[in-house]
Chains A and B, each alone.
Chain A
Amino acid sequence: MEVDDKVAIKWFRWMGAGGLVLSLVVFIIYITGLIPSFVPPSDSAALWSGSSKEYLAETGLVFTPGWFRNITSSYFLSTAALAVLASTALPTLVALGVRWFHKREFLYGSMALMISVVLIVAIIG
Protein backbone atom coordinates (compact mmCIF):
# COMPACT_ATOMS: atom_id res chain seq x y z
CA MET A 1 0.00 0.00 0.00
CA GLU A 2 1.30 3.45 -0.93
CA VAL A 3 1.75 6.15 1.70
CA ASP A 4 -0.79 8.29 -0.23
CA ASP A 5 -3.37 5.57 0.33
CA LYS A 6 -2.55 5.46 4.04
CA VAL A 7 -3.10 9.21 4.34
CA ALA A 8 -6.47 8.94 2.57
CA ILE A 9 -7.50 5.93 4.67
CA LYS A 10 -6.72 7.77 7.90
CA TRP A 11 -8.82 10.81 6.98
CA PHE A 12 -11.72 8.85 5.49
CA ARG A 13 -11.83 6.63 8.57
CA TRP A 14 -11.72 9.43 11.14
CA MET A 15 -14.00 11.89 9.38
CA GLY A 16 -16.48 9.23 8.28
CA ALA A 17 -16.79 7.54 11.67
CA GLY A 18 -16.66 10.87 13.53
CA GLY A 19 -19.31 12.43 11.30
CA LEU A 20 -21.61 9.45 11.66
CA VAL A 21 -21.31 9.18 15.45
CA LEU A 22 -21.65 12.94 15.83
CA SER A 23 -24.76 12.97 13.59
CA LEU A 24 -26.37 10.25 15.66
CA VAL A 25 -25.56 11.79 19.07
CA VAL A 26 -26.68 15.26 18.05
CA PHE A 27 -29.82 13.85 16.43
CA ILE A 28 -30.76 12.23 19.73
CA ILE A 29 -30.20 15.59 21.44
CA TYR A 30 -32.44 17.19 18.82
CA ILE A 31 -35.33 14.74 19.05
CA THR A 32 -35.26 14.58 22.84
CA GLY A 33 -35.30 18.38 23.07
CA LEU A 34 -32.25 18.57 25.37
CA ILE A 35 -31.16 21.72 23.54
CA PRO A 36 -33.83 24.14 22.25
CA SER A 37 -34.52 24.02 18.54
CA PHE A 38 -35.85 26.63 16.09
CA VAL A 39 -37.86 23.86 14.44
CA PRO A 40 -38.89 20.90 16.63
CA PRO A 41 -39.11 17.51 14.89
CA SER A 42 -42.92 17.61 14.98
CA ASP A 43 -43.01 20.92 13.08
CA SER A 44 -40.36 19.69 10.69
CA ALA A 45 -42.50 16.64 9.94
CA ALA A 46 -45.62 18.73 9.37
CA LEU A 47 -43.81 20.51 6.54
CA TRP A 48 -41.77 17.76 4.91
CA SER A 49 -44.32 17.19 2.15
CA GLY A 50 -43.66 20.67 0.76
CA SER A 51 -40.60 21.83 -1.13
CA SER A 52 -37.46 23.07 0.63
CA LYS A 53 -38.34 26.64 -0.36
CA GLU A 54 -41.80 26.31 1.23
CA TYR A 55 -40.20 24.73 4.29
CA LEU A 56 -37.84 27.65 4.77
CA ALA A 57 -40.65 30.16 4.23
CA GLU A 58 -42.95 28.45 6.76
CA THR A 59 -40.33 27.88 9.45
CA GLY A 60 -38.53 31.19 9.01
CA LEU A 61 -35.20 29.38 8.86
CA VAL A 62 -32.49 31.27 7.04
CA PHE A 63 -29.61 29.35 5.53
CA THR A 64 -27.23 32.19 4.84
CA PRO A 65 -23.55 31.43 4.25
CA GLY A 66 -22.05 30.37 7.56
CA TRP A 67 -25.36 29.03 8.92
CA PHE A 68 -23.47 26.21 10.61
CA ARG A 69 -22.12 28.67 13.20
CA ASN A 70 -25.66 28.96 14.57
CA ILE A 71 -25.35 25.77 16.59
CA THR A 72 -27.07 27.02 19.73
CA SER A 73 -30.19 25.60 18.09
CA SER A 74 -30.25 21.81 18.07
CA TYR A 75 -31.80 21.91 14.58
CA PHE A 76 -28.74 23.64 13.16
CA LEU A 77 -26.48 21.56 15.39
CA SER A 78 -27.96 18.38 13.92
CA THR A 79 -27.61 19.71 10.37
CA ALA A 80 -24.02 20.81 11.14
CA ALA A 81 -23.19 17.28 12.31
CA LEU A 82 -24.40 15.97 8.96
CA ALA A 83 -22.24 18.66 7.35
CA VAL A 84 -19.18 17.15 9.06
CA LEU A 85 -20.01 13.85 7.37
CA ALA A 86 -20.50 15.71 4.07
CA SER A 87 -17.09 17.36 4.45
CA THR A 88 -15.05 14.16 4.73
CA ALA A 89 -13.38 14.61 1.36
CA LEU A 90 -12.05 18.11 2.09
CA PRO A 91 -9.40 17.38 4.75
CA THR A 92 -8.53 14.16 2.90
CA LEU A 93 -7.81 16.09 -0.29
CA VAL A 94 -5.96 18.89 1.50
CA ALA A 95 -3.71 16.34 3.24
CA LEU A 96 -3.10 14.52 -0.04
CA GLY A 97 -2.52 17.78 -1.92
CA VAL A 98 0.09 18.97 0.58
CA ARG A 99 1.80 15.60 0.34
CA TRP A 100 1.82 15.61 -3.46
CA PHE A 101 3.19 19.16 -3.66
CA HIS A 102 5.87 18.15 -1.16
CA LYS A 103 6.77 15.19 -3.39
CA ARG A 104 6.81 17.55 -6.39
CA GLU A 105 3.90 15.73 -8.00
CA PHE A 106 2.44 19.02 -9.13
CA LEU A 107 -0.26 17.61 -11.42
CA TYR A 108 -1.88 15.58 -8.64
CA GLY A 109 -1.26 18.32 -6.09
CA SER A 110 -3.05 20.78 -8.38
CA MET A 111 -5.95 18.40 -8.94
CA ALA A 112 -6.39 17.88 -5.19
CA LEU A 113 -6.24 21.66 -4.74
CA MET A 114 -8.82 22.25 -7.49
CA ILE A 115 -11.27 19.74 -6.03
CA SER A 116 -10.75 21.32 -2.60
CA VAL A 117 -11.62 24.71 -4.12
CA VAL A 118 -14.80 23.22 -5.64
CA LEU A 119 -15.75 21.83 -2.22
CA ILE A 120 -15.03 25.16 -0.51
CA VAL A 121 -17.20 26.93 -3.10
CA ALA A 122 -19.99 24.43 -2.30
CA ILE A 123 -19.52 24.98 1.45
CA ILE A 124 -19.52 28.76 1.17
CA GLY A 125 -22.66 28.48 -0.96
Chain B
Amino acid sequence: MRKTIFLGFLLLLLFSAGVFAEGVSENSVIPEGMPWWGWSLLLFAFCFVLGITAIVAGVGGGILYVPIVSAIFPFHLDFVRGAGLLVALAGAVSAAPRLLGSGMASLRLALPMALAGSIGSLIGAHIGLALPSHVVEVSLGVVIIFIVALMLLAKRADYPVVAAASPLSFRLGISGTYLDGATGETVHWKIHRLIPGFFLFFVIGFMAGMFGLGAGWANVPALNLLLGAPLKVSVATSILIIAINGSAASWVYLNQGAVLPVIAVPSVVGMMLGTRIGAKMLTRSRPAAIRWVVIGFLILAGLRSLLAGLGVL
Protein backbone atom coordinates (compact mmCIF):
# COMPACT_ATOMS: atom_id res chain seq x y z
CA MET B 1 0.00 0.00 0.00
CA ARG B 2 2.77 2.44 1.00
CA LYS B 3 4.70 1.57 -2.16
CA THR B 4 1.69 2.36 -4.34
CA ILE B 5 1.04 5.68 -2.57
CA PHE B 6 4.72 6.58 -2.94
CA LEU B 7 4.59 5.67 -6.62
CA GLY B 8 1.48 7.82 -7.06
CA PHE B 9 3.22 10.76 -5.40
CA LEU B 10 6.28 10.24 -7.56
CA LEU B 11 4.15 10.25 -10.69
CA LEU B 12 2.45 13.46 -9.58
CA LEU B 13 5.90 15.04 -9.43
CA LEU B 14 6.86 13.61 -12.82
CA PHE B 15 3.72 14.92 -14.48
CA SER B 16 4.57 18.38 -13.27
CA ALA B 17 8.10 18.07 -14.70
CA GLY B 18 7.05 19.60 -18.01
CA VAL B 19 6.66 23.03 -16.51
CA PHE B 20 10.22 23.05 -15.23
CA ALA B 21 11.58 21.94 -18.58
CA GLU B 22 9.63 24.25 -20.85
CA GLY B 23 8.66 27.11 -18.61
CA VAL B 24 5.20 28.63 -18.57
CA SER B 25 4.84 30.38 -21.87
CA GLU B 26 1.82 32.36 -22.98
CA ASN B 27 0.71 29.38 -25.05
CA SER B 28 0.85 27.01 -22.11
CA VAL B 29 -2.18 28.60 -20.47
CA ILE B 30 -5.49 27.37 -21.82
CA PRO B 31 -8.50 29.73 -21.90
CA GLU B 32 -9.81 28.59 -18.52
CA GLY B 33 -6.68 30.03 -16.91
CA MET B 34 -5.01 26.88 -15.71
CA PRO B 35 -1.75 25.76 -17.39
CA TRP B 36 -1.93 22.52 -19.36
CA TRP B 37 0.16 20.61 -16.83
CA GLY B 38 -2.29 21.67 -14.12
CA TRP B 39 -5.11 20.00 -16.03
CA SER B 40 -3.03 16.88 -16.66
CA LEU B 41 -2.12 16.73 -12.98
CA LEU B 42 -5.72 17.27 -11.94
CA LEU B 43 -6.82 14.58 -14.39
CA PHE B 44 -4.26 12.16 -12.97
CA ALA B 45 -5.45 12.82 -9.40
CA PHE B 46 -9.08 12.61 -10.46
CA CYS B 47 -8.56 9.29 -12.25
CA PHE B 48 -6.67 7.97 -9.25
CA VAL B 49 -9.73 8.68 -7.06
CA LEU B 50 -12.04 7.39 -9.79
CA GLY B 51 -10.05 4.14 -9.90
CA ILE B 52 -10.45 3.64 -6.14
CA THR B 53 -14.16 4.50 -6.31
CA ALA B 54 -14.80 2.22 -9.28
CA ILE B 55 -13.37 -0.83 -7.53
CA VAL B 56 -15.01 -0.12 -4.18
CA ALA B 57 -18.38 0.52 -5.85
CA GLY B 58 -18.03 -2.59 -8.01
CA VAL B 59 -18.35 -0.61 -11.24
CA GLY B 60 -15.92 -0.68 -14.17
CA GLY B 61 -13.65 2.35 -14.42
CA GLY B 62 -14.38 2.65 -18.13
CA ILE B 63 -18.06 3.34 -17.62
CA LEU B 64 -17.35 6.12 -15.09
CA TYR B 65 -14.55 7.78 -17.04
CA VAL B 66 -16.28 9.10 -20.18
CA PRO B 67 -19.44 10.62 -18.66
CA ILE B 68 -17.75 12.10 -15.60
CA VAL B 69 -14.55 13.39 -17.23
CA SER B 70 -16.50 14.90 -20.13
CA ALA B 71 -18.77 16.63 -17.59
CA ILE B 72 -15.97 18.05 -15.44
CA PHE B 73 -12.97 18.67 -17.70
CA PRO B 74 -12.76 21.05 -20.68
CA PHE B 75 -11.82 18.29 -23.16
CA HIS B 76 -13.79 17.55 -26.30
CA LEU B 77 -15.78 14.32 -26.22
CA ASP B 78 -13.62 12.86 -29.04
CA PHE B 79 -10.52 12.94 -26.83
CA VAL B 80 -12.37 11.75 -23.74
CA ARG B 81 -13.74 8.75 -25.66
CA GLY B 82 -10.28 7.95 -27.06
CA ALA B 83 -8.74 8.08 -23.58
CA GLY B 84 -11.74 6.22 -22.11
CA LEU B 85 -11.14 3.24 -24.37
CA LEU B 86 -7.48 3.11 -23.36
CA VAL B 87 -8.44 3.40 -19.68
CA ALA B 88 -10.84 0.46 -19.99
CA LEU B 89 -8.34 -1.52 -22.06
CA ALA B 90 -5.39 -0.92 -19.72
CA GLY B 91 -7.45 -1.96 -16.70
CA ALA B 92 -8.66 -5.11 -18.45
CA VAL B 93 -5.18 -6.07 -19.71
CA SER B 94 -3.79 -5.60 -16.23
CA ALA B 95 -6.49 -7.79 -14.62
CA ALA B 96 -6.67 -10.49 -17.32
CA PRO B 97 -3.58 -12.55 -16.28
CA ARG B 98 -4.79 -12.84 -12.68
CA LEU B 99 -8.30 -13.84 -13.74
CA LEU B 100 -7.05 -16.41 -16.24
CA GLY B 101 -4.70 -17.81 -13.65
CA SER B 102 -7.54 -18.21 -11.13
CA GLY B 103 -9.56 -20.19 -13.65
CA MET B 104 -12.47 -17.72 -13.50
CA ALA B 105 -11.98 -16.22 -16.97
CA SER B 106 -12.64 -18.58 -19.86
CA LEU B 107 -10.81 -18.08 -23.15
CA ARG B 108 -13.22 -20.44 -24.88
CA LEU B 109 -16.21 -18.41 -23.77
CA ALA B 110 -14.54 -15.09 -24.48
CA LEU B 111 -13.36 -15.79 -28.01
CA PRO B 112 -16.67 -16.11 -29.92
CA MET B 113 -18.06 -13.09 -28.06
CA ALA B 114 -14.87 -11.09 -28.68
CA LEU B 115 -15.12 -11.88 -32.40
CA ALA B 116 -18.59 -10.33 -32.57
CA GLY B 117 -17.64 -7.53 -30.19
CA SER B 118 -14.45 -6.53 -31.97
CA ILE B 119 -16.27 -6.20 -35.31
CA GLY B 120 -18.99 -4.16 -33.57
CA SER B 121 -16.50 -1.92 -31.77
CA LEU B 122 -14.58 -1.25 -34.99
CA ILE B 123 -17.76 -0.14 -36.76
CA GLY B 124 -19.03 1.74 -33.69
CA ALA B 125 -15.79 3.70 -33.30
CA HIS B 126 -15.83 4.80 -36.96
CA ILE B 127 -19.47 5.88 -36.75
CA GLY B 128 -18.94 7.56 -33.38
CA LEU B 129 -16.14 9.73 -34.75
CA ALA B 130 -18.05 10.54 -37.93
CA LEU B 131 -21.25 11.70 -36.19
CA PRO B 132 -21.71 15.34 -35.11
CA SER B 133 -20.71 15.92 -31.47
CA HIS B 134 -24.19 16.92 -30.30
CA VAL B 135 -25.66 13.67 -31.65
CA VAL B 136 -23.01 11.65 -29.77
CA GLU B 137 -23.66 13.68 -26.60
CA VAL B 138 -27.42 13.08 -26.72
CA SER B 139 -26.89 9.37 -27.44
CA LEU B 140 -24.31 9.11 -24.66
CA GLY B 141 -26.73 10.73 -22.21
CA VAL B 142 -29.46 8.25 -23.15
CA VAL B 143 -27.05 5.29 -22.93
CA ILE B 144 -25.74 6.37 -19.50
CA ILE B 145 -29.26 6.68 -18.10
CA PHE B 146 -30.07 3.26 -19.60
CA ILE B 147 -26.94 1.81 -17.96
CA VAL B 148 -27.97 3.25 -14.58
CA ALA B 149 -31.40 1.63 -15.00
CA LEU B 150 -29.68 -1.64 -15.90
CA MET B 151 -27.45 -1.38 -12.82
CA LEU B 152 -30.47 -0.78 -10.61
CA LEU B 153 -32.91 -3.25 -12.11
CA ALA B 154 -30.97 -6.14 -13.63
CA LYS B 155 -31.05 -9.27 -11.54
CA ARG B 156 -27.98 -11.44 -11.26
CA ALA B 157 -27.77 -15.14 -10.71
CA ASP B 158 -24.71 -16.58 -8.97
CA TYR B 159 -25.26 -19.98 -10.56
CA PRO B 160 -27.80 -19.79 -13.43
CA VAL B 161 -29.55 -23.05 -14.26
CA VAL B 162 -28.56 -24.34 -17.70
CA ALA B 163 -30.52 -27.54 -18.34
CA ALA B 164 -28.52 -28.47 -21.42
CA ALA B 165 -25.63 -26.84 -23.25
CA SER B 166 -26.58 -25.59 -26.72
CA PRO B 167 -25.22 -27.84 -29.53
CA LEU B 168 -22.83 -25.17 -30.78
CA SER B 169 -21.41 -24.39 -27.35
CA PHE B 170 -21.04 -28.15 -26.78
CA ARG B 171 -19.17 -28.47 -30.07
CA LEU B 172 -16.92 -25.56 -29.15
CA GLY B 173 -16.25 -27.09 -25.75
CA ILE B 174 -17.43 -24.02 -23.85
CA SER B 175 -17.70 -25.26 -20.30
CA GLY B 176 -15.49 -25.23 -17.26
CA THR B 177 -14.85 -25.87 -13.62
CA TYR B 178 -13.62 -23.58 -10.89
CA LEU B 179 -13.20 -23.62 -7.15
CA ASP B 180 -15.47 -21.03 -5.52
CA GLY B 181 -13.40 -19.48 -2.73
CA ALA B 182 -16.51 -18.22 -0.90
CA THR B 183 -18.24 -21.60 -0.58
CA GLY B 184 -15.28 -23.93 -1.02
CA GLU B 185 -17.25 -25.85 -3.64
CA THR B 186 -16.16 -26.86 -7.10
CA VAL B 187 -18.53 -25.34 -9.62
CA HIS B 188 -19.11 -26.95 -13.03
CA TRP B 189 -20.67 -24.70 -15.64
CA LYS B 190 -21.88 -24.77 -19.22
CA ILE B 191 -23.74 -22.26 -21.37
CA HIS B 192 -26.65 -22.01 -23.80
CA ARG B 193 -28.05 -19.43 -26.28
CA LEU B 194 -24.67 -18.91 -27.94
CA ILE B 195 -26.03 -17.50 -31.22
CA PRO B 196 -28.26 -14.79 -29.66
CA GLY B 197 -25.28 -13.98 -27.42
CA PHE B 198 -23.08 -13.56 -30.48
CA PHE B 199 -25.42 -10.93 -31.93
CA LEU B 200 -25.86 -9.19 -28.58
CA PHE B 201 -22.08 -8.89 -28.19
CA PHE B 202 -21.91 -7.26 -31.61
CA VAL B 203 -24.32 -4.57 -30.35
CA ILE B 204 -22.42 -4.19 -27.06
CA GLY B 205 -19.12 -3.83 -28.94
CA PHE B 206 -20.71 -1.25 -31.23
CA MET B 207 -21.83 0.88 -28.27
CA ALA B 208 -18.49 0.50 -26.47
CA GLY B 209 -16.61 1.65 -29.58
CA MET B 210 -18.99 4.49 -30.32
CA PHE B 211 -18.96 5.97 -26.82
CA GLY B 212 -15.51 4.89 -25.61
CA LEU B 213 -17.04 3.01 -22.69
CA GLY B 214 -15.76 -0.17 -21.14
CA ALA B 215 -18.46 -2.74 -21.72
CA GLY B 216 -18.55 -4.59 -18.40
CA TRP B 217 -21.97 -3.04 -17.63
CA ALA B 218 -23.43 -5.02 -20.56
CA ASN B 219 -21.03 -7.96 -20.88
CA VAL B 220 -21.72 -9.27 -17.39
CA PRO B 221 -25.55 -9.40 -17.62
CA ALA B 222 -25.30 -10.84 -21.15
CA LEU B 223 -22.94 -13.63 -20.10
CA ASN B 224 -24.75 -14.27 -16.83
CA LEU B 225 -28.43 -13.93 -17.70
CA LEU B 226 -28.51 -14.75 -21.42
CA LEU B 227 -25.75 -17.33 -21.82
CA GLY B 228 -26.09 -18.77 -18.32
CA ALA B 229 -22.47 -18.48 -17.13
CA PRO B 230 -21.98 -18.24 -13.35
CA LEU B 231 -21.62 -14.66 -12.09
CA LYS B 232 -17.92 -14.93 -11.21
CA VAL B 233 -17.11 -16.48 -14.58
CA SER B 234 -19.15 -13.74 -16.27
CA VAL B 235 -17.31 -10.92 -14.49
CA ALA B 236 -13.88 -12.41 -15.21
CA THR B 237 -14.62 -13.34 -18.83
CA SER B 238 -16.13 -9.89 -19.44
CA ILE B 239 -12.75 -8.37 -18.58
CA LEU B 240 -11.05 -10.69 -21.04
CA ILE B 241 -13.52 -9.63 -23.76
CA ILE B 242 -12.85 -5.92 -23.01
CA ALA B 243 -9.09 -6.60 -23.32
CA ILE B 244 -9.68 -7.86 -26.87
CA ASN B 245 -12.49 -5.57 -28.06
CA GLY B 246 -10.89 -2.41 -26.70
CA SER B 247 -7.93 -2.91 -29.05
CA ALA B 248 -9.91 -2.53 -32.26
CA ALA B 249 -11.77 0.60 -31.17
CA SER B 250 -8.66 2.19 -29.61
CA TRP B 251 -6.82 1.91 -32.89
CA VAL B 252 -9.63 3.72 -34.73
CA TYR B 253 -9.31 6.63 -32.29
CA LEU B 254 -5.49 6.54 -32.52
CA ASN B 255 -5.59 6.57 -36.32
CA GLN B 256 -7.90 9.60 -36.35
CA GLY B 257 -5.77 11.66 -33.97
CA ALA B 258 -8.40 11.41 -31.23
CA VAL B 259 -5.95 10.23 -28.56
CA LEU B 260 -4.02 13.07 -26.94
CA PRO B 261 -1.06 11.92 -24.82
CA VAL B 262 -1.62 14.80 -22.35
CA ILE B 263 -5.08 13.38 -21.61
CA ALA B 264 -4.65 9.64 -22.16
CA VAL B 265 -1.44 8.94 -20.21
CA PRO B 266 -2.40 10.68 -16.93
CA SER B 267 -5.83 9.01 -17.16
CA VAL B 268 -4.50 5.48 -17.74
CA VAL B 269 -1.79 5.71 -15.07
CA GLY B 270 -4.06 7.41 -12.52
CA MET B 271 -6.84 4.89 -13.02
CA MET B 272 -4.51 1.90 -12.80
CA LEU B 273 -2.90 3.10 -9.58
CA GLY B 274 -6.33 3.92 -8.16
CA THR B 275 -7.73 0.48 -8.93
CA ARG B 276 -4.74 -1.12 -7.14
CA ILE B 277 -5.43 0.96 -4.01
CA GLY B 278 -9.18 0.34 -4.36
CA ALA B 279 -8.67 -3.42 -4.44
CA LYS B 280 -6.78 -3.19 -1.14
CA MET B 281 -9.41 -0.92 0.44
CA LEU B 282 -12.25 -3.18 -0.57
CA THR B 283 -12.32 -5.09 2.70
CA ARG B 284 -12.55 -1.94 4.84
CA SER B 285 -15.06 0.11 2.86
CA ARG B 286 -18.84 0.34 2.60
CA PRO B 287 -19.44 -0.54 -1.05
CA ALA B 288 -23.23 -0.07 -0.92
CA ALA B 289 -22.99 3.61 0.11
CA ILE B 290 -20.27 4.34 -2.44
CA ARG B 291 -22.21 2.52 -5.14
CA TRP B 292 -25.15 4.87 -4.58
CA VAL B 293 -22.88 7.92 -4.79
CA VAL B 294 -21.47 6.59 -8.07
CA ILE B 295 -24.96 5.96 -9.44
CA GLY B 296 -25.90 9.53 -8.45
CA PHE B 297 -22.86 10.89 -10.31
CA LEU B 298 -23.69 8.80 -13.36
CA ILE B 299 -27.28 10.10 -13.43
CA LEU B 300 -26.05 13.70 -13.23
CA ALA B 301 -23.37 13.09 -15.88
CA GLY B 302 -25.89 11.37 -18.17
CA LEU B 303 -28.39 14.21 -17.81
CA ARG B 304 -25.67 16.80 -18.42
CA SER B 305 -24.58 15.03 -21.59
CA LEU B 306 -28.18 14.77 -22.79
CA LEU B 307 -28.96 18.43 -22.09
CA ALA B 308 -25.65 19.65 -23.54
CA GLY B 309 -26.30 17.67 -26.70
CA LEU B 310 -29.78 19.17 -26.97
CA GLY B 311 -28.30 22.64 -26.56
CA VAL B 312 -30.05 23.30 -23.24
CA LEU B 313 -26.75 23.65 -21.28
CA A56 – CA B22 in complex, angstroms? 23
Q: Are A88 and B269 in contact (CB under 8 A)?
A: no
Task: Count A-side interface residues using an 8 Å CB cutoff.
Answer: 64
- Interface presence of B66 (CB below 8 A): no
CA A53 – CA B267 in complex, angstroms? 22
CA A114 – CA B75 in complex, angstroms? 35
B residues in contact (CB < 8 Å) with A: 11, 14-15, 17-18, 21-22, 25, 27-31, 35-37, 39-40, 74-76, 78-79, 82, 86, 89-90, 93-94, 96-97, 100-101, 103, 107-108, 111-112, 114-115, 118-119, 122, 125, 129, 133, 171-172, 243-244, 246-252, 254-265, 268-269, 272
> With a CB–CB cut-off of 8 A, which chain A residues contact B103?
1, 5
Beyond A27-B265, A31-B18, whether A45 also contacts B93 by CB under 8 A is no
- A16, A31, A63 pick with most chain B CB within 10 angstroms: A31
Q: List 26 A-B contacts (CB under 8 A).
A: A8-B100, A12-B96, A13-B97, A20-B94, A23-B264, A23-B269, A24-B11, A31-B18, A32-B17, A32-B21, A34-B21, A42-B35, A43-B27, A44-B36, A44-B262, A50-B76, A55-B78, A63-B254, A65-B255, A78-B261, A82-B265, A85-B86, A86-B254, A88-B243, A115-B115, A125-B252
Q: Are B244 and A122 in contact (CB under 8 A)?
A: no
CA A16 – CA B96 in complex, angstroms? 10
CA A26 – CA B144 in complex, angstroms? 34
> With a CB–CB cut-off of 8 A, which chain A residues contact B78?
51-52, 55
Contact among A1, A23, A41, A122 with B252 in the assembled complex (CB-CB below 8 Å): A122
Contact among B18, B37, B244 with A115 in the assembled complex (CB-CB below 8 Å): B244
> With a CB–CB cut-off of 8 A, which chain A residues contact B17?
28, 31-32
Beyond A5-B101, A16-B93, A32-B17, whether A49 also contacts B243 by CB under 8 A is no
Contact among B15, B90, B100, B246 with A20 in the assembled complex (CB-CB below 8 Å): B90
Contact among B82, B108, B251 with A125 in the assembled complex (CB-CB below 8 Å): B251
Contact among B258, B261, B268 with A52 in the assembled complex (CB-CB below 8 Å): B258
Q: Are A12 and B79 in contact (CB under 8 A)?
A: no
CA A85 – CA B119 in complex, angstroms? 19
Q: Are A48 and B260 in contact (CB under 8 A)?
A: yes
Beyond A5-B107, A32-B18, A46-B30, whether A78 also contacts B265 by CB under 8 A is yes
Q: Are B259 and A20 in contact (CB under 8 A)?
A: no
> With a CB–CB cut-off of 8 A, which chain B residues contact A24?
11, 265, 269
> With a CB–CB cut-off of 8 A, which chain A residues contact B90?
16, 19-20, 85
Q: Which residue of A lies closest to B20 (CB)?
A: A32
CA A96 – CA B110 in complex, angstroms? 13
> With a CB–CB cut-off of 8 A, which chain B residues contact A8?
96-97, 100, 107
> With a CB–CB cut-off of 8 A, which chain A residues contact B119?
118
Q: Are B118 and A27 in contact (CB under 8 A)?
A: no
> With a CB–CB cut-off of 8 A, which chain B residues contact A9?
96-97, 100-101
CA A39 – CA B234 in complex, angstroms? 43
> With a CB–CB cut-off of 8 A, which chain B residues contact A32?
17-18, 21-22
Beyond A23-B265, A44-B260, A118-B248, whether A5 also contacts B30 by CB under 8 A is no
Q: Are A55 and B18 in contact (CB under 8 A)?
A: no
Q: Which residue of A lies closest to B38 (CB)?
A: A45
Q: Could you give, for residues 98-125 of chain A, a 1 whenever the CB lies within 8 Å of some chain B CB and a 0 otherwise?
A: 0000000001100110110011011101
Q: Are B27 and A46 in contact (CB under 8 A)?
A: yes
